[in-house]
Amino acid sequence: MCYITDMSKSDTLPSEGPYRVYTAASVGPAIRHYRVQAGLTQAQLADSMGISVPYLSRLENGQETEQLRRIVGILKRLGVRMTLQKADW
């Protein structure tokens, strides 16, 4: 589940979710946390998503992609941010 909240509220990033996304690079720690919590290796998750392990590794290590930079840029321009937390569905 992904919540978008008002950027005027400043909360610190917790050691465990929910993860507030301030930059494209901040998506990586959330991906890694939830992958490990699900008991999946990078290879398993990458295979199930049809992406390469090196690409997933770059995401988890906070290396930004153009797509993520654009999405976060749009949200910043709108004055909102994303908060990621484990889905209840």
pLDDT (0 to 100) of residue 69: 87
Which CATH number belongs to the domain containing residue 17 in this structure? 1.10.260.40
Per-residue pLDDT of the chain (89 residues; tens, 9 = 90+): 444 333 333 333 445 667 888 888 888 888 998 999 999 999 999 999 999 999 999 999 988 788 888 988 899 999 998 888 888 77
Domain, as residue range, for 74: 2-84
Question: Is 89 among the domain residues?
Answer: no
Whether the Cβ atoms of residue 18 and residue 87 lie closer than 8 Å to each other: no
pTM: 0.71
**DSSP state letter for 87:** -
Q: How many domains does the chain have?
A: 1
> Cβ–Cβ contacts within 10 Å for residue 2, how many?
12
Query: Considering the domain boundaries, does residue 41 fall inside one?
Result: yes
